[in-house]
Structure 1
Amino acid sequence: MCVDPTPPPAASLTRRGVLAGAAALAGTTTALLATTATPAAAAAPRRLGTPLTGDLVIEGGTLLDPGTGDVTPDAVVVIRDGLVRAAGPRSRIGVPQDAPRLDAHGRWVLPGLVDAHIHLNTAAEARDAVRKGATSARSGSTNFYQDIAVRELARQAPVLAPRLKAAGVFVTPDLGDTVLADPDLTELARLKDGVRSAEALRRVVEVNLARGADWVKTRVNERAGLPEQDPLAQVYSHEQLSEVVAAARRGGRGVLCHSYSEKGCHDAVTAGIRSLEHGVYVGERTLHEMRRRNTYFTPTLAAIAGLAESSNPVLAERGRTYLPLLKRAVLAAHERGVPLAAGTDSSGGTVKPIGREVELMHAAGLPALDAIRTATTGAARLLGLTTVGRLARGYAGDVLVVAGDPLADLTVLSKPVSVVRSGLPV
């Protein structure tokens, strides 16, 4: 996690072990979940490795479309093979008679949410994220490429993990035991000053890309969740960040950057990062650059709010100081047209509901619909997920069913009544 200290991974969490475990778990889940498919699909033999998807009709709820803001009472959503085939008022939708039903009468129905900054190190964390409403996500890095395995697990057994964009290992000055994540990283352990030279920075990016990372994660400041560190201290210069961005772009990848200080934020944005993470002290000139460059802001409000509740007095004071500053930065970004994405920065075995981040976006001053968009259409655009964030024909069959009107009470998002992933009830 970027804010809270991350415990060292268990000895069993090697890259090979995670991949093997994911494969075994996916195979087990395919068998266990066969009963959720249609009778015909359940009877047909499944080829090993074929991703599991489902058919489902969700009927009777009030449908919210974050893309348009439209609200449709007594709606029907028809999902076939994990994709939405139709969504709208019952009077206009032909309801297939052979599909399983989910009764949503008295409930609200909206697309599954997107957590644009989360650290998923275990299968248990991945499943917990889905259960709490994050049906899609972007990794904020892992210690040993666990997120690469989670991404594949999500493809094989969707109910066990969010649709994931992986970031591999952190591009940071001190890799620590992460040099053991891949044999091609071990040579960096002999560097006296750590990962700082242009050659070393490029090396970590290139290894990440070779291992299949979708994004590159780096930092410009130290961490807020470690009391001995100063989050305003800068660890990489504009030139070093530019090296990371250039190496990522050569591989067709964007960069997300852990940032706190105004100078750090400005250096990161002008170096060409794709999204700014945390950004407590982001200033007017940097917001202007972000709007001009279409750089996203992922403030991770829930993580900063968590610091304020820490038993450590240094972290608690830090959280109390940072949270109001960050809320003002979020509102300023929104007012200036900077795109926002919701992310919880969950890690360390505790997965925060992405709905809580949406609540805090609203508390910062965003209208309820705009707050919801930070975890649906907005975050989906950042991640390049063109079929996520709405429930319309051709979109993913990822659904959240909640107890009340989220436009009136956003707390319902943190306690979903039902979650559907690729047409399969979780």
Structure 2
Amino acid sequence: MCEQHAAAPPPASLTRRGVLATAVALAGAGAGADRAVAGGPATSGVRETPGGTLVVENGTLLDPLTGRVIEDAVVVIVRGRVEAAGSRADTAAARRAAEAAEVVDADGGWVLPGLVESHIHLNTLAEARDALSYGATTARSGSTNFYQDIGVRALARAVPGRAPTLRAAGLFVTPDLGDGILADPELAPLARERNGVRSADALRHLVRTNVARGADVIKTRVNERAGLPEQDPTVQVYSREQLATVVAEAGRHGKQVLCHSYAEQGIHDAVVAGVRSIEHGVYVGERTLVEMKRRGTYFTPTLAAMAGMAESSDPVLAERGRTYLPVVRRAVRAAKELGVPVAAGTDSSGGTVKPIGREVELLRAAGLPALDAIRSATTVGARLLGLEREAGRLLRGFRGDVVVVDGSPLDDVTVLKKPRVVVKSGVRYAD
């Protein structure tokens, strides 16, 4: 999948600092950058605003890591961070200290940490809003057209409750950048590459440009796209050596790599090259899953994207979706049996955001136990993003991200598709 849709490029005169500042200004944030992105890797660009103070009570609390369930639980969030979570007795002192806080009555619903969406394309404010409304309080970008994900990340830091906390990927490291080459003047020299972004120097240059823009992760590919009927997703576009060049350059800047892939040989090459996670991975084989287990490589199968493709009006795409979905379901089961961590990601793009709960539903239907399917969108996703001390659980010091759903997700994971309440950094989401 990972089909990027056309979007207008930013003005040619826009500076790197301006990318962040303009995105926040357009969002109504009004926050200034505290450092320029140009001149070296940046991880912030915008001062993080403290979140809200809020109490969630009268619900059943689930800790995805342990599976522990606490009835009549309370979650106390102070300035965007969890102060206490547990029984009324265990949280009484924190609850009294936050007496003036807004109170959210879970009204007998189930209370979980905000969900983690490990593969999404957030190109617009509307997409960021929709992802958050579905309970995705933390996400990883699967790349954007013109560094919009950098702006979304800044928005989440400046205005809690407006967007998910985001690990941004910037531009896709792909042979044909298309109009994406206009996203940064530094990329113009790549137009001289006769075969596209394939040489070691070109690959390094694109990775470095992403890093200079402030990318948290690097997104590349090994196969063509499945979401374009004229392309064959089993065709390999980068060799193992080229992928290793991308991984090595990203590693020099402390960045990990996620890789779009479909065919077994390409997937194997990507894993051996050292990518952090395999995206889609329809035809992943046992030898590669064994290697993924050995290396700690994650698998993000994006079942929601496959299911959506099966419903396409284009006959080529519909046939692909119908063919791929049962194959990747088997791959999920094999990954589970071998101990490969499976993360939830919808691969949403093009203005339509799928609920992250839909991916959890499909992972459950593929054969994951309910708790493991929930973990794919909480603790496993948080580890993949390097945020296991921030997200995926409701413990003291963790980010105050909460979803409240009507019913037990252990009995029926589909309740995660329509959260009744979403709290981001202690701020209740309201459309």
Structure 1 residue 160: Cα displacement: 1.1
**Pairs within 5 Å for 1:143-222:** 143-222=145-224
Give the whole-Å Cα distance in 2 for the aligned partners of 1:170 and 1:26: 24
Q: 2:425 aligns with which of 409, 422, 426?
A: 422
**Pairs within 5 Å for 1:271-286:** 271-286=273-288
Give the whole-Å Cα distance in 2 for the aligned partners of 1:368 and 1:258: 27
1:59 and 2:60 aligned: no
Structure 1 residue 28: Cα displacement: 4.7
Number of the residue aligned with 2:39:
none
2:25 alignment partner AA: A
Unpaired segments of 5 or more residues in structure 1?
A: 31-47
Unpaired segments of 5 or more residues in structure 2?
A: 32-45
2:236 alignment partner AA: Q
Cα 1:425–1:29 shift into 2, 3 Å: farther
TM-score (normalised: structure 2): 0.92
1:185 alignment partner AA: L
Query: Does the 8 Å contact 2:55/2:76 carry over to 1?
Result: yes
Number of the residue aligned with 2:88:
90
Q: 2:406 aligns with which of 403, 406, 410?
A: 403
Give the whole-Å Cα distance in 2 for the aligned partners of 1:55 and 1:301: 36
Structure 1 residue 197: Cα displacement: 0.7
Q: Deviations over 1:365-387 (max 9, x none)?
A: 00000000000000000100121
Structure 1 residue 91: Cα displacement: 2.5
Structure 1 residue 263: Cα displacement: 0.2
Number of the residue aligned with 1:133:
135
Structure 1 residue 11: Cα displacement: 5.1
Query: Does the 8 Å contact 1:13/1:144 carry over to 2?
Result: no
Give the whole-Å Cα distance in 2 for the aligned partners of 1:424 and 1:348: 27
Instruction: Give the secondary structure class of the aligned counterpart of 1:338.
Output: coil
Cα 1:50–1:111 shift into 2, 3 Å: closer
1:367 alignment partner AA: P
1:363 alignment partner AA: A
Query: Does the 8 Å contact 2:24/2:30 carry over to 1?
Result: no
Query: Does the 8 Å contact 1:22/1:123 carry over to 2?
Result: no
Give the whole-Å Cα distance in 2 for the aligned partners of 1:400 and 1:68: 18
Cα 1:13–1:362 shift into 2, 3 Å: farther
Query: Does the 8 Å contact 1:334/1:340 carry over to 2?
Result: yes
Give the whole-Å Cα distance in 2 for the aligned partners of 1:170 and 1:251: 17
1:55 alignment partner AA: T
Query: Does the 8 Å contact 2:141/2:149 carry over to 1?
Result: yes
Structure 1 residue 21: Cα displacement: 4.0
Give the whole-Å Cα distance in 1 for the aligned partners of 2:67 and 2:189: 52
Instruction: Give the secondary structure class of the aligned counterpart of 2:416.
Output: helix
Give the whole-Å Cα distance in 2 for the aligned partners of 1:381 and 1:231: 28
Number of the residue aligned with 2:73:
75
Give the whole-Å Cα distance in 2 for the aligned partners of 1:248 and 1:24: 30
Give the whole-Å Cα distance in 2 for the aligned partners of 1:29 and 1:425: 20
Moved over 3 A (4+): 11-21, 25-30
Query: Does the 8 Å contact 2:55/2:74 carry over to 1?
Result: yes
**Pairs within 5 Å for 1:27-426:** 27-28=28-29, 51-94=49-92, 95-96=95-96, 97-385=99-387, 386-426=389-429
Structure 1 residue 20: Cα displacement: 4.2
Give the whole-Å Cα distance in 2 for the aligned partners of 1:13 and 1:342: 35
Q: Deviations over 1:368-426 (max 9, x none)?
A: 00000000000000100121000111111000000111111111101000000000000
Query: Does the 8 Å contact 2:29/2:159 carry over to 1?
Result: no
Query: Does the 8 Å contact 2:27/2:125 carry over to 1?
Result: no
Instruction: Give the secondary structure class of the aligned counterpart of 2:72.
Output: strand
Identity between Structure 1 and Structure 2 (%): 67
TM-score (normalised: structure 1): 0.93
Give the whole-Å Cα distance in 1 for the aligned partners of 2:11 and 2:348: 18
Cα 1:299–1:103 shift into 2, 3 Å: same
Number of the residue aligned with 2:25:
24
Instruction: Give the secondary structure class of the aligned counterpart of 1:159.
Output: coil
Structure 1 residue 90: Cα displacement: 1.1
Give the whole-Å Cα distance in 2 for the aligned partners of 1:160 and 1:395: 19
Q: Deviations over 1:236-273 (max 9, x none)?
A: 01111111111111111110000000000000000110
Query: Does the 8 Å contact 1:29/1:157 carry over to 2?
Result: no
Instruction: Give the secondary structure class of the aligned counterpart of 1:158.
Output: coil
Give the whole-Å Cα distance in 2 for the aligned partners of 1:234 and 1:215: 22
2:173 alignment partner AA: V
Instruction: Give the secondary structure class of the aligned counterpart of 2:398.
Output: coil
Give the whole-Å Cα distance in 2 for the aligned partners of 1:305 and 1:376: 22
